[in-house]
Amino acid sequence: MRKVLFYIPLSLFLLLTLFLLSGLFSDPRERDSAVINKPLPAFALADLMQPEHIWTPEKLAGEVFLLNVWGTWCPTCNAELAYLAELRAQGVKIVGLYYELPRDPTFDAPFDLATLQQDVTQKLAQQGDPYQFNILDLQRTLSLDLGVSGAPETFIIDANGIVRAHHIGDINPMVWRGKLAAVYQQWSKP
Partner 1 sequence: MIVEAGQLALTFAFALSVLLALVPLYGSYRASQPLLLMAKPLAIAQFVSCLLAMLALIYAFRSSDFTVINVAQNSSSTLPWYYQITASFGSHEGSMLLWVLMLAGWTALVAIFSKALPLLLQGRILAILGLINAGFIAFSLFMSNPFARSLPFFPVEGRDLNPLLQDFGMILHPPTLYMGYVGFAVAFAFAIAALMGGRFDSVWARWVRPWALAAWLFLTLGIMLGSWWAYNELGWGGWWFWDPVENASFMPWLAGTALIHSLAVTEKRGTFKSWTVLLALAAFALSLVGAFLVRSGVLVSVHSFATDPGRGLYLLVFLLLVIGGSLLLYGSRMHAVRSQARYKLFSREMLLWGNNIFLLTACFIVFLGTLFPLFHKELGLGSVSIGAPFFDQMFYYLSIPFALLLGLGPWVRWKQQQLSPLLSPLALVAVAALVLALGVMATLQSVQANLALMGLLLGAWVGMSALAEVMQRARQLGSVKQGLGKLNASHYGMTLAHIGFAVLVIGVAMTKTYTEERDVRMQAGDSVQLAGYQFTLTEVYPLNGANYGGQAAELDVSKDGHYVTHLHAEKRFYRIQRTIMTEAAVHARLSRDLYVSLGEELPGNAWALRIQVKPFVRWIWLGGLLMTAGALLSLLDKRYRRKQLAGAAQAGEQYA
Partner 2 sequence: MKAIITVLMLFCAALSAEEMLQFRSDAERQLFHQLTAELRCPQCQNQNIADSNAIVAVDMRQKTYELVRQGQDRQQVLDYMINRYGDFVHYQPPLNRYTVWLWLTPVLLLLLLLGIGVYRRASQQANANTAADDGSDSAELDKLIARYRSKKP
Instruction: Pick what 113 binds: partner 1, partner 2, none; C-beta below 5 to 8 Å, kind-dependent.
Output: none
Instruction: Pick what 147 binds: partner 2, partner 1, none; C-beta below 5 to 8 Å, kind-dependent.
Output: partner 2
> Is 150 near partner 2 (CB under 8 A)?
yes
Residues 24-63 that bind partner 1 (CB under 8 A): 24-26, 28-32
CB of 101 to partner 2, least distance (A): 7
- Cα 10 → chain centroid: 44
Q: Cα dist. 66→16, 58, 109, 110, 132 in Å? A: 40, 16, 32, 30, 10
Stretch that binds partner 1, among 14-22, 116-124, 137-145, 170-178 (CB under 8 A): 14-22
| Contact present, 124 and 141 (Cβ < 8 Å) | no
Amino acid at 71: G
Instruction: Pick what 182 binds: partner 2, partner 1, none; C-beta below 5 to 8 Å, kind-dependent.
Output: none
The kind and range of the H/E element at 65 are: strand 65-70
> Is 102 near partner 1 (CB under 8 A)?
no
CB of 106 to partner 2, least distance (A): 9
Distance between CA 46 and CA 53 in Å, rounded? 6
Q: Cα dist. 63→2, 70, 124, 155 in Å? A: 67, 21, 24, 14
> Is 16 near partner 2 (CB under 8 A)?
no
Partner residues linked to 17 by β-bridges = none
Instruction: Pick what 75 binds: partner 2, partner 1, none; C-beta below 5 to 8 Å, kind-dependent.
Output: none
Instruction: Pick what 52 binds: partner 2, partner 1, none; C-beta below 5 to 8 Å, kind-dependent.
Output: none
Name which of 182, 152, 150 is nearest 165 in CA terms: 182
Q: How many CA atoms lie within 13 A of 95 on its CB side?
A: 21
Which of 75, 104, 125, 189 touches partner 1 (CB under 8 A)? Answer: 104
> Is 22 near partner 1 (CB under 8 A)?
yes
Rule CB under 8 A: which residues touch partner 2?
Answer: 31-35, 101-102, 140, 143-150
